[in-house]
């Protein structure tokens, strides 16, 4: 019934106005079915999913989207995979490196009942999709999965730090067990010296069970301060993000600003600033990929991983003023000013 | 026959009387229309300028206001929303510098807090800003309308933070000079347009008045004067159908009627004579008829055409104007296309098209005379227009440096053909009694073109670009050709030739060059004058003025001064030289003036003249100097040539002189390139001065030593045959 009304109204609109905009809605109106999209997120829905759905709605793509939450636990994956196999959706949407790997698996992994392999996939919020072996390259994914990259280049990140203040020593505290962090640090080690700056690297010591010790983070922050660091760099590191509050509290105590490469520490901790992608825009970009797969019938293996060309400079002004590091005037009209949501 | 001599004398006195009257009518008509035009233009311009001051000045400050608003709202956001204390704002200096860099008309930016303390300041030197700000603080009634004038700056104040303690303000300063400059630029453009439209109106009015009214009336009067002496034989030929044409038709009918009646009368008289038996009566009748024939001439007349030298004036002016349009920007235009990967220096590549243009003129001109003799003025003029139009359109479509040069050369060929054709027309149609006036018409047409071309061309180039300006040149040249096509008749001019073909032989040239006075007039006055014209005016001035920051309009306007100076001085100096016969001295003074005017640029800074001022001074000095040199030089060369009248012939000597003289135009740009490479633009001007001055001193020396009899009994425009 709803679909009939939609078709009729779309037809009327197309008849009334013969311009380009309505012409674009025609393929959607002509297609004879509603696309089923199955989304899996890591820790609840975010702005990315909102942007994703908003774009599809704007384009008039008939779809129905189901979203399941892993709730920070990979152990919840098998149940969801079972559900996906029964629902037989047209597209699977995954949020984050862990989610994507536990639902869609690695690029060269053999066929398995425990993974979704035969349905096209789109990933978002994966920091290093190639290193994480989700696709074989940005240009040619090498399987029926593509997605959107969300990190700004290291160079752009460092440049935005320098636009704020002429920092000299950058300290990075990271979880050695996380592949994302290892890749991130090796990139920093390559690029930071090239830009005439110094990089101080502090891996988090491990507990007896082999996992990184959260208790050690505040000490490392103080250690960084004592080594002469003037800014802390927070990479796409889920361990650090998880313990972000303690990390940034220590940073505030030491009087060090924290730069973040992802949105979540800026939103949830006392990180001072960061060059991040806008989640809503990111979701729209993913939806562009989805539309090409669903409506235009393109194959994910032919679609390169998409990148945003613009990032936003997020500044938590309350953190900046607590540190006495006011933003320079040249950034006033460029930056997005927020209040960190931590008291 | 005595009768004829008397008749001739009466005719001459009639013509003289007529000419003075004609001058009165023409002058009155032209002056009246020009005055009316001028009053109208001045009134309109005045109101336009008033409007400009009222409407545009605030608009100029509106830009500063927009910048002030933008900066102050960002500052207010930083202070008000982000709670950054005004004195702790970060990176304000770089931030201000960014704005100052992209808004050249803003002179300073400053933040003053509620206590009047200057927190941040950027712009002109700190000392002047401090005095301005001190004065501002004592008078804190600033607003954002840029109405507060402090020490030549208009200050606008924008609030960025209001607290109980007071207001923190952003101050934006613009110079009132900037606005004033724009205002003057506009006044200059308006005045230029008025002056030029005035000159052009004058040219066209004079042309049509002479052609359609005064000339036919002159002919009617001549024929009527003949009628009063009993000559009713001549017919007036007039093509026009206007009132004058109708008058002439009725006049021709009258003459025709008279002739028919006279024929009837003669027939009757002959019949009467034959009817007589008495021989003595027959003889009496025959004597009466003879007497009648002595008093009245009714047959065997000629057709009187309405032809005059002045007819060439408008087409020649239009063509010179079209060529001069590009004068102010040719070097810039060339440098746009000049290749950078050549062995020759960039400067030489820029000068080369000017040199080759002049070379084309120099080579074609001697042949042009022969062509005009064979094919007539009209055909050669039209051929010249064809060449020039192809050249102009070619330059409009220019793609590479090489086709640019090719089409400049074609324009040069056209230019020389048109020049020779026009000269030929003047020579063919000038009458003995008004040779001076005829030459004057020719010179005026050329110089009015030289005055009007560069400023208008500059304004056009500034607005529509170099290439499109060439298209306008092409259109003007076409119009000039159309006028010649319409007004001139092919069959008219060929059989009226009075000139003999001049052949330049090698031995004659050697003889001439061996004459120290011919040599020194040529090499020490004529060639340097032409060299300065092509090297300084046509090459150095546009390049240097552009480097000094003038736009094409402004360059054209300043170049116009050369033509204006020459035009204003040429007739006075000609008359003076003719009256006093001090040709050598006039040339010497002209050379001194030009030389010193150029050398003065060396001391321009010491006497407080700007670089532009020094260029203007040199342009004016060259203009006046050239006028003096040109007029007297002509007379001198005629006289020097007179010494060889028996062996070589005066005409040959003069034309040899003309050919040699043009080498100055060819080497001019190259001399300029060499001087600029050695001394830079500014001191190269003085370089020209030194060359001119040295040579003019040599000239004077040789003239004094060789004790010429120049000036004894020759006049300036002695017929040159």
Local confidence band at A18 (pLDDT 50, 70, 90 cut-offs):
very low
**What pLDDT is recorded for position B502?**
60
Judge residue B697's burial from the number of C-beta atoms within 10 Å of its C-beta, 0-12 exposed, 13-18 middle, 19 or more buried: middle
Question: Over 80: is that where the pLDDT of B185 sits?
Answer: no
Among the residue ranges A8-17, B386-395, B561-570, the one predicted with the least confidence is A8-17
Local confidence band at A19 (pLDDT 50, 70, 90 cut-offs):
very low
**What's the 3-state SS for B424-490?**
HHHHHHCCHHHHHHHHHHHHHHHHHHHHHHHHHHHHHHHHHCHHHHHHHHHHHHHHHHHHHHHHCCH
Q: What is the mean pLDDT of residues B206-212?
A: 74
Q: How far is CA B498 from CA A26, B421, B427, B430, B494, in A?
A: 87, 14, 8, 11, 10
> Which residue in chain B is spatially nearest to A321 when comparing CA positions?
B84
Q: How far is CA B427 from CA A304, B500, B645, B654, in A?
A: 83, 12, 19, 14
Q: What is the mean pLDDT of residues B620-626?
A: 92
DSSP 3-state percent helix, strand, coil across chain B (nearest 5):
75, 5, 15
Q: Furthest-apart CA pair in chain A: how many Å?
A: 72
Nearest-neighbour CA in chain B from A330: distance (Å): 5
The verdict on a CB contact (< 8 Å) between B78 and A317 is no
Q: What is the mean pLDDT of residues A186-203?
A: 94
Q: What is the spatial distance between Cα A161 and Cα A174, in angstroms, rounded to a whole number?
A: 19
Nearest-neighbour CA in chain B from A255: distance (Å): 18
- With a CB cutoff of 8 Å and minimum separation 6, the contacts of A50 are A280, A283
**What pLDDT is recorded for position B90?**
92
Enumerate helices (H) and strands (E) in chain B, giving the number of each: 23, 7
Local confidence band at A161 (pLDDT 50, 70, 90 cut-offs):
very high
The verdict on a CB contact (< 8 Å) between A330 and B95 is yes
**What pLDDT is recorded for position B421?**
87
Place of tokens 């607005």: B463
The verdict on a CB contact (< 8 Å) between B91 and A330 is yes
Higher pLDDT, A231 or B608: A231
Local confidence band at B56 (pLDDT 50, 70, 90 cut-offs):
low
Q: Side by side, which strands form the sheet with A91-95? A: A63-69, A35-41, A91-95, A121-126, A145-149, A306-307
Local confidence band at A238 (pLDDT 50, 70, 90 cut-offs):
confident
Higher pLDDT, A80 or B436: A80
**What pLDDT is recorded for position B274?**
82
**What pLDDT is recorded for position B585?**
86
Among the residue ranges A123-137, A139-153, B510-524, the one predicted with the least confidence is B510-524
Residue A332 has its nearest CB partner, among B77, B83, B88, at B77
The verdict on a CB contact (< 8 Å) between A329 and B95 is yes
**What pLDDT is recorded for position A20?**
39
Local confidence band at B143 (pLDDT 50, 70, 90 cut-offs):
low
Give one DSSP letter per residue of B511-535, joined into a string: HHHHSHHHHHHIIIIIHHHHHHIII
Residue A326 has its nearest CB partner, among B74, B77, B90, at B90
Structure tokens at B113: 């807090």
Top-ranked range on mean pLDDT: pick from B56-65, B224-233, B404-413: B404-413
Structure tokens at A107: 């690029």
Among the residue ranges A129-138, B84-93, B171-180, the one predicted with the least confidence is B171-180
Q: Are the beta carbons of B459 and B561 closer than 8 angstroms?
A: no
B343 touches chain A (CB under 8 A): no
| Number of A–B residue contacts, CB under 8 Å | 40
**What pLDDT is recorded for position B429?**
72
**What pLDDT is recorded for position A172?**
96
Question: Over 70: is that where the pLDDT of B576 sits?
Answer: yes
A257 touches chain B (CB under 8 A): no
Q: Which of B187, B145, B151 is nearest to B53 (CA)?
A: B187
Residue pLDDT, tens place only, B378-412? 888 999 999 999 999 999 998 888 999 999 999 99
Between residues 36 and 75 of chain B, which touch chain A (CB distance below 8 Å)?
74-75
The verdict on a CB contact (< 8 Å) between A327 and B82 is yes
Q: What is the spatial distance between Cα B457 and Cα B322, in angstroms, rounded to a whole number?
A: 9
Give one DSSP letter per residue of A201-269, joined into a string: EEEPPB-TTSSB-TTHHHHHHHHHHHTT--EEEE-S-HHHHHTHHHHHHHHHHHT--EEESSHHHHHHS
- With a CB cutoff of 8 Å and minimum separation 6, the contacts of A198 are A168, A169, A170, A192
Structure tokens at B377: 């003025």
The verdict on a CB contact (< 8 Å) between A326 and B82 is yes
Q: What is the mean pLDDT of residues A237-253?
A: 91
Residue B89 has its nearest CB partner, among A326, A333, A337, at A326
Nearest-neighbour CA in chain B from A265: distance (Å): 21
- What integer best gives the mean pLDDT of chain A? 87
Read off the DSSP letter of residue B712.
Answer: S
Question: Over 80: is that where the pLDDT of B332 sits?
Answer: yes
Q: What is the mean pLDDT of residues B700-711?
A: 69
Q: Furthest-apart CA pair in chain B: how many Å?
A: 140
**What pLDDT is recorded for position B55?**
66
**Phi (first) and psi of residue A295, to 5 degrees:** -85, -50
Among the residue ranges A267-271, B440-444, B584-588, the one predicted with the least confidence is B440-444
The verdict on a CB contact (< 8 Å) between A329 and B75 is yes
The verdict on a CB contact (< 8 Å) between A327 and B88 is no
Measured between beta carbons, the chain B residues lying within 8 angstroms of A332 are 74, 77-78, 82
B80 touches chain A (CB under 8 A): no
Share of chain B above pLDDT 70, in %: 84
Start-to-end C-alpha separation, chain A: 50
Q: Which of A94, A76, A81 is nearest to A135 (CA)?
A: A94
Local confidence band at B309 (pLDDT 50, 70, 90 cut-offs):
low
Determine the 3-state secondary structure of A277 from DSSP: coil
- With a CB cutoff of 8 Å and minimum separation 6, the contacts of B502 are B369, B649, B651, B652, B655
Q: What is the spatial distance between Cα A100 and Cα A123, in angstroms, rounded to a whole number?
A: 6
Local confidence band at B16 (pLDDT 50, 70, 90 cut-offs):
very low
Q: Are the beta carbons of A36 and A89 closer than 8 angstroms?
A: yes
**What pLDDT is recorded for position A13?**
43
Nearest-neighbour CA in chain A from B468: distance (Å): 38
- With a CB cutoff of 8 Å and minimum separation 6, the contacts of B186 are B49, B52
Q: Are the beta carbons of A129 and A135 closer than 8 angstroms?
A: yes
Q: What is the spatial distance between Cα B569 and Cα B336, in angstroms, rounded to a whole number?
A: 36
Among A315, A321, A326, most B C-beta atoms within 10 A, so best to mutate, is A326
Element (H, E) at B500: none
Q: What is the mean pLDDT of residues A272-293?
A: 93
The verdict on a CB contact (< 8 Å) between B75 and A327 is no
Q: What is the mean pLDDT of residues B129-137?
A: 74
Q: Which of B362, B712, B358 is nearest to B504 (CA)?
A: B362
**What pLDDT is recorded for position B351?**
87
Angle at the Cα of B63 from the Cα atoms of B59 and B67, rounded to 5 degrees: 155
**What pLDDT is recorded for position B374?**
79
Q: Are the beta carbons of A41 and A69 closer than 8 angstroms?
A: yes
Q: Which of B144, B181, B170 is nearest to B56 (CA)?
A: B181
Higher pLDDT, B503 or A12: B503
Residue A329 has its nearest CB partner, among B81, B83, B89, at B89
**What pLDDT is recorded for position A259?**
96
Measured between beta carbons, the chain B residues lying within 8 angstroms of A330 are 91, 94-95, 98
The verdict on a CB contact (< 8 Å) between B94 and A326 is no
Top-ranked range on mean pLDDT: pick from B252-261, B338-347, B560-569: B560-569
Structure tokens at A123: 């990933």
- What integer best gives the mean pLDDT of chain B? 80
Give one DSSP letter per residue of B54-115, joined into a string: IIIHHHHHHHHHHHHHHHHHHHHIIIIIS---GGG-BSHHHHHHHHHHH-TTEEEEEEE-TT
Q: What is the spatial distance between Cα B143 and Cα B588, in angstroms, rounded to a whole number?
A: 62
Nearest-neighbour CA in chain B from A164: distance (Å): 9
Determine the 3-state secondary structure of B231 from DSSP: strand
The verdict on a CB contact (< 8 Å) between A329 and B92 is yes
A341 touches chain B (CB under 8 A): no
> Which residue in chain A is spatially nearest to B87 when comparing CA positions?
A326
Question: Over 50: is that where the pLDDT of B712 sits?
Answer: no
Higher pLDDT, B341 or A4: B341
Read off the DSSP letter of residue B540.
Answer: I
The verdict on a CB contact (< 8 Å) between A330 and B94 is yes
**Phi (first) and psi of residue B173, to 5 degrees:** -115, 130
Q: What is the spatial distance between Cα B434 and Cα B427, in angstroms, rounded to a whole number?
A: 11
Q: How far is CA A170 from CA A46, A242, B428, in A?
A: 30, 21, 92
Among the residue ranges A17-26, A88-97, B625-634, B654-663, the one predicted with the least confidence is A17-26
Among the residue ranges B113-117, B319-323, B425-429, B498-502, the one predicted with the least confidence is B498-502
Between residues 279 and 338 of chain A, which touch chain B (CB distance below 8 Å)?
317, 321, 326-333, 337
Nearest-neighbour CA in chain B from A327: distance (Å): 6
Q: What is the spatial distance between Cα A180 and Cα A201, in angstroms, rounded to a whole number?
A: 15
Four-CA torsion B707, B709, B711, B712, nearest 10 degrees: 140
> Which residue in chain B is spatially nearest to A166 when comparing CA positions?
B91
- Dihedral sign from CA coordinates of B282, B285, B286, B287: positive
Nearest-neighbour CA in chain A from B154: distance (Å): 25
**What pLDDT is recorded for position B67?**
87
Residue pLDDT, tens place only, B513-544? 888 888 888 888 889 988 998 899 889 999 89
Q: What is the mean pLDDT of residues A32-39?
A: 88
Nearest-neighbour CA in chain B from A321: distance (Å): 8
Q: What is the spatial distance between Cα B546 and Cα B490, in angstroms, rounded to a whole number?
A: 46
Question: Over 50: is that where the pLDDT of A23 sits?
Answer: no
Neighbours of A251 (CB within 10 A): 30
| Paired residues of B303 in beta bridges | B235
Q: What is the spatial distance between Cα A173 and Cα A214, in angstroms, rounded to a whole number?
A: 11
Q: What is the mean pLDDT of residues A127-147?
A: 91
Q: Which of B530, B539, B521, B526 is nearest to B685 (CA)?
A: B539
Among the residue ranges A68-72, A237-241, B175-179, the one predicted with the least confidence is B175-179
Q: What is the mean pLDDT of residues B7-24?
A: 49
Q: What is the spatial distance between Cα B119 and Cα B137, in angstroms, rounded to a whole number?
A: 13
Place of tokens 């030009």: B594
Nearest-neighbour CA in chain A from B45: distance (Å): 44
Rg of chain B in Å (alpha carbons): 34
Strands (E), chain A: 35-41, 63-69, 91-95, 121-126, 145-149, 169-174, 198-203, 231-234, 258-260, 273-276, 306-307, 312-316, 336-338
Strands (E), B152-297: 153-163, 166-175, 235-237
Read off the DSSP letter of residue B278.
Answer: S
Q: What is the spatial distance between Cα A237 and Cα A173, in angstroms, rounded to a whole number?
A: 10
**What pLDDT is recorded for position A64?**
93
> Which residue in chain A is spatially nearest to B90 when comparing CA positions?
A328
């Amino acid at each position: 019934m709803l679909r009939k009304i939609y078709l009729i109204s779309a037809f009327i609109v197309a008849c009334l106005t013969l311009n380009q905009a309505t012409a674009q809605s025609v393929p959607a109106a002509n297609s004879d079915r509603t696309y089923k999209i199955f989304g899996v997120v890591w820790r609840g829905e975010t702005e990315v999913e909102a942007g994703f759905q908003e774009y599809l709605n704007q384009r008039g793509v008939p779809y129905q989207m189901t979203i399941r939450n892993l709730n920070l636990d990979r152990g919840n994956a098998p149940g969801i995979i079972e559900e996906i196999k029964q629902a037989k959706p047209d597209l699977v949407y995954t949020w984050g490196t862990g989610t994507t790997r536990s639902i869609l698996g690695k690029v060269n992994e053999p066929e398995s009942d425990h993974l979704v392999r035969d349905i096209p996939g789109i990933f978002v919020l994966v920091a290093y999709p190639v290193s994480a072996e989700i696709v074989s390259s940005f240009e040619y994914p090498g399987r029926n999965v593509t997605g959107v990259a969300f990190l700004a280049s290291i160079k752009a990140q460092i440049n935005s730090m320098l636009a704020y203040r002429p920092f000299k020593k950058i300290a990075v505290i990271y979880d050695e067990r996380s592949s994302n962090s290892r890749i991130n640090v090796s990139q920093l080690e390559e690029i930071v010296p090239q830009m005439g700056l110094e990089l101080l690297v502090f891996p988090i010591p491990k507990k007896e069970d082999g996992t990184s010790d959260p208790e050690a983070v505040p000490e490392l922050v103080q250690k960084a301060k004592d080594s002469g660091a003037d800014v802390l760099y927070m990479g796409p590191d889920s361990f650090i993000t998880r313990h972000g509050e303690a990390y940034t509290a220590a940073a505030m105590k030491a009087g060090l600003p924290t730069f973040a490469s992802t949105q979540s520490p800026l939103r949830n901790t006392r990180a001072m600033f960061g060059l991040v992608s806008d989640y809503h825009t990111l979701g729209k970009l993913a939806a562009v990929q989805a539309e090409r797969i669903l409506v235009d019938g393109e194959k994910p293996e032919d679609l390169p991983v998409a990148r945003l060309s613009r990032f936003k400079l997020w500044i938590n002004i309350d953190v900046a003023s607590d540190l006495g590091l006011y933003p320079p005037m040249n950034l006033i009209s460029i930056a997005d000013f927020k209040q960190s949501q931590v008291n | 026959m005595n009768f004829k001599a008397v008749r001739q004398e009466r005719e001459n006195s009639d013509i003289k009387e007529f000419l003075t009257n004609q001058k009165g009518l023409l002058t009155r008509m032209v002056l009246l229309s020009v005055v009316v035009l001028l009053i109208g233009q001045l009134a309109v311009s005045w109101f336009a300028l008033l409007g400009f001051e009222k409407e545009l000045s605030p608009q100029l400050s509106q830009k500063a206001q927009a910048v002030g608003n933008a900066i102050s709202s960002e500052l207010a956001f930083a202070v008000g929303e982000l709670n950054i204390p005004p004195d702790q704002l970060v990176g304000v200096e770089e931030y201000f510098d960014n704005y100052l860099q992209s808004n050249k008309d803003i002179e300073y930016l400053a933040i003053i807090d509620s206590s009047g303390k200057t927190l941040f300041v950027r712009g002109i030197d700190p000392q002047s800003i401090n005095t301005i700000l001190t004065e501002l603080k004592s008078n804190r009634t600033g607003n954002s309308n840029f109405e507060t004038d402090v020490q030549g700056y208009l200050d606008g104040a924008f609030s960025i933070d209001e607290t109980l303690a007071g207001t923190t303000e952003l101050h934006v300063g613009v110079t009132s000079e900037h606005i004033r400059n724009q205002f003057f630029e506009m006044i200059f453009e308006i005045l230029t347009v008025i002056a030029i439209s005035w000159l052009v109106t004058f040219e066209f009015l004079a042309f049509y008045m002479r052609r359609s009214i005064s000339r036919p009336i002159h002919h009617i009067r001549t024929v009527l004067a003949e009628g009063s002496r009993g000559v009713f034989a001549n017919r007036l030929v007039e093509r026009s159908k206007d009132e004058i044409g109708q008058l002439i038709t009725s006049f021709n009918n009258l003459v025709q009627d008279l002739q028919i009646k006279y024929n009837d009368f003669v027939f009757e008289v002959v019949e009467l004579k034959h009817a007589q038996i008495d021989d003595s009566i027959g003889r009496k009748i025959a004597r009466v008829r003879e007497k009648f024939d002595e008093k009245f001439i009714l047959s065997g007349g000629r057709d009187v055409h309405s032809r005059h030298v002045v007819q060439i004036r408008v087409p020649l002016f239009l063509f010179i104007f079209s060529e001069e349009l590009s004068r102010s920007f040719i070097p810039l235009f060339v440098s746009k296309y000049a290749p950078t990967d050549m062995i020759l220096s960039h400067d030489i590549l820029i000068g080369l098209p000017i040199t080759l243009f002049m070379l084309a003129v120099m080579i074609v001109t001697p042949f042009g005379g022969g062509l005009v003799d064979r094919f007539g003025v009209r055909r050669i003029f039209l051929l010249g227009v064809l060449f020039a139009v192809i050249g102009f359109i070619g330059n409009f479509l220019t793609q590479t440096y090489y086709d640019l040069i090719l089409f400049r050369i074609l324009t040069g060929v056209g230019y020389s053909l048109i020049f020779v054709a026009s000269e030929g027309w003047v020579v063919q149609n000038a009458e003995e009694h008004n040779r001076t006036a005829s030459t004057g018409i020719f010179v005026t047409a050329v110089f009015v073109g030289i005055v009007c071309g560069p400023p208008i061309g500059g304004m056009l180039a500034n607005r529509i670009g170099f290439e499109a300006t060439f298209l306008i040149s092409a259109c003007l040249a076409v119009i000039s050709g159309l006028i010649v096509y319409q007004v001139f008749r092919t069959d008219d001019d060929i059989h009226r030739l009075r000139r003999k073909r001049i052949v330049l032989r090698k031995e004659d040239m050697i003889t001439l060059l061996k004459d120290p006075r011919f040599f020194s007039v040529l090499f020490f006055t004529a060639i340097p004058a032409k060299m300065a014209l092509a090297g300084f005016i046509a090459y150095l001035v546009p390049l240097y003025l552009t480097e000094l920051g003038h736009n094409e309009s402004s360059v054209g306007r300043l170049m116009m001064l050369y033509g204006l100076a020459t035009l204003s001085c040429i007739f006075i100096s000609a008359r003076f030289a003719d009256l006093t016969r001090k040709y050598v001295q006039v040339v010497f003074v002209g050379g001194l003036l030009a030389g010193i005017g150029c050398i003065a640029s060396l001391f321009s800074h010491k006497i407080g003249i700007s670089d532009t001022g020094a260029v203007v001074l040199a342009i004016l000095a060259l203009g006046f100097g050239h006028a003096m040199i040109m007029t007297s030089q002509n007379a001198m060369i005629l006289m020097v040539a007179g010494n060889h009248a028996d062996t070589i012939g005066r005409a040959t000597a003069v034309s040899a002189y003309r050919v040699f003289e043009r080498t100055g135009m060819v080497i001019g740009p190259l001399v300029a390139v060499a001087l600029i490479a050695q001394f830079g633009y500014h001191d190269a001007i003085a370089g020209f001065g030194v060359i001119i001055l040295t040579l003019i001193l040599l000239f004077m020396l040789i003239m004094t030593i060789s004790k010429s009899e120049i000036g004894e009994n020759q006049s300036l425009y002695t017929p040159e045959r």
